[in-house]
Amino acid sequence: MALITGKDIIKAAKFLTQNEIVAIPTETVYGLAANALDAGAVLKIFEAKNRPHFDPLIVHIGNKADIDRYVLNVPATAQKLINAFWPGPLTLVLPKKDIIPDLLTSGLSEVAIRMPNHPLTLELLRLLSFPLAAPSANPFGYISPTTAQHVEEQLGDKIPYILDGGPANIGVESTIVRFEDEKVIVLRLGGIPVEEIAKIASEVEIQVNPNDNPVAPGQLSSHYAPRKPLYVGNIAELLDEFKDKRIGLISFGKAIYSNTSRQWNLSPDSDLHEAAKNLFRTLREADASDVDVIIARYVPDEGLGKAINDRLRRGNYKLGIRN
Ligand code: TXA
Ligand code: MG
């Protein structure tokens, strides 16, 4: 890898302090970070990512207590979730203070905020006098990066530094929630399973479809899509449907299939953690391979499986809106 990738948090902090953007590791996916309190720095993120301005960013903080600097109030249920899951893959959407630039929230009065669980990034955040705005470090609409190399391949010419924290541990983005009084509304399925949230909050509702929920832009159906057509469903039927093509198969569990050009298995032992961790890297490998179509099956719809299935559904050629 080129010199722009390394483990030097002092160097990363220097660029960030000069309002440059730096890619940072988190436990979910790599983020494209800049000073969240500076509209000019935030603008650079939108430009590097080619991201529409209606899609707001997440603010990353290094200490739980910092949340009070950026949001107007923290409901009791939100505080319980913070105590249980931070640092970790849970993002809270709460009414913002004026210090958060409107550009960051795309003009919304609420801001998305989380404390990531990665040692290098936590150390970096504690060195800085400001929080970091960071979307996933992929070009808009493409698969999120789970290694520094993924970032370098796609955005290496647009950013001065990539902080390399190794492969992401969780592998899917954070779960995003907002609150209606003490009721928890799940806006994006992610690294903290809904079942875990329901153990702590008395009322939880899932609203992850764009139709349900126009206030959460970014939940576009074309997200997370590989460039090659991806079909998700019954593997035997899909193998038959595409028997004249070069097929790349993404499977899960013990079953073994013939008649494919390439095969990947998200987790031969049917472990959803392992599958989440492998998902985006596998989609990238399949996309970069010489197959004509990628086929995959949904995994059991429980725990992290819900987030995995959500990403597969959004990448599914038959269902997704491709652009
Ligand atoms: O795991 C993650 O969350 C990663 C890492 C880097 O932290 N970040 C990430 O960011 O996935 P991004 O930008 O790819 O997705 C953030 C999504 C937006 O697309 C939007 O759906 C939601 O967060 N969001 C942000 N601010 C919001 C707000 N004020 N109201 C509702 N949804 C918001
Ligand atoms: Mg993203």
Give the pLDDT of residue 322: 39
Instruction: Give the position, in ligand 1's atom list, of the atom nearest the Cα of 108.
Output: 29
Alpha-helix runs per DSSP H in 135-189: 148-155
Q: Are 168 and 27 in contact (CB under 8 A)?
A: yes
Query: Of the ligands numbered here, which is closest to the C-alpha atom of 125?
Result: 1
66 CA → ligand 2 middle, Å: 24
293-296 vs 247-251, strand pairing mode: parallel
The answer to whether the CB of 56 is under 6 A from ligand 1 is yes
Q: 131: Cβ below 6 Å to ligand 1?
A: no
Nearest ligand, CA of residue 190?
Answer: 1
Distance 280 CA to ligand 1 centre (A): 17
Residue 216 Cβ contacting ligand 1 at under 6 Å: yes
Nearest to 307, CA basis, from 110, 90, 74, 81? 90
CA distance 157 to 172: 25
Q: What is the pTM of this model?
A: 0.94
> 2 or 195, which is more confident?
195
Which residue's alpha carbon is nearest to atom 31 within ligand 1?
Answer: 216
- Residue 321, pLDDT score: 44
Among all bound ligands, the one having the nearest atom to the CA of 29 is 1
DSSP 54-95: TSPPEEE-SSGGGHHHHBS---HHHHHHHHHH-SSSEEEEEE
Q: Which of 58, 97, 103, 136 to mutate to test the pocket of ligand 1 (most atoms within 8 A of CB)?
A: 58
Q: Contact 262/291 with Cβ under 8 angstroms?
A: yes
Atom of ligand 1 nearest to the CA of 91: 3
Spatial contact of 235 and 249, defined as CB atoms under 8 Å apart:
yes
Confidence tier at 259 by pLDDT (50, 70, 90): confident
Nearest ligand 1 atom to the CA of 215 is 31
Q: Which residues surround ligand 2, an ion (CB under 5 A)?
A: 136
**Ligand 1 neighbour 55 (Cβ under 6 A):** yes
For 22-36, b where at least 16 C-beta lie within 10 A, e where not — what string?
A: bbbbbbbbbbbbbbb
The span from the CA of 315 to the CA of 320, in Å, is 6
| Distance (Å) from CA 91 to ligand 1 centroid | 8
Q: Which own/partner pairs from 309-313 qualify as long-range (CB within 8 Å, at least 24 positions apart)? A: 310/188, 310/189, 310/208, 311/172, 311/223, 311/224, 311/279, 311/280, 312/230, 312/232, 313/232
Q: Is the Cβ atom of 187 under 6 angstroms away from ligand 1?
A: yes
User: pLDDT tens digits, residue range 80-131?
Assistant: 999 999 999 999 999 999 999 999 999 999 999 999 999 999 999 999 999 9
Cβ atoms of residues 167 and 150 within 8 Å: no
Q: pLDDT tens digit string along 194-244?
A: 999 999 999 999 999 765 444 554 455 556 678 899 999 999 999 999 999
Task: Tell me the domains of the chain and their CATH numbers.
Answer: 4-206 (3.90.870.10), 230-319 (3.40.50.11030)
**Token pair listed for 215:** 């206030």
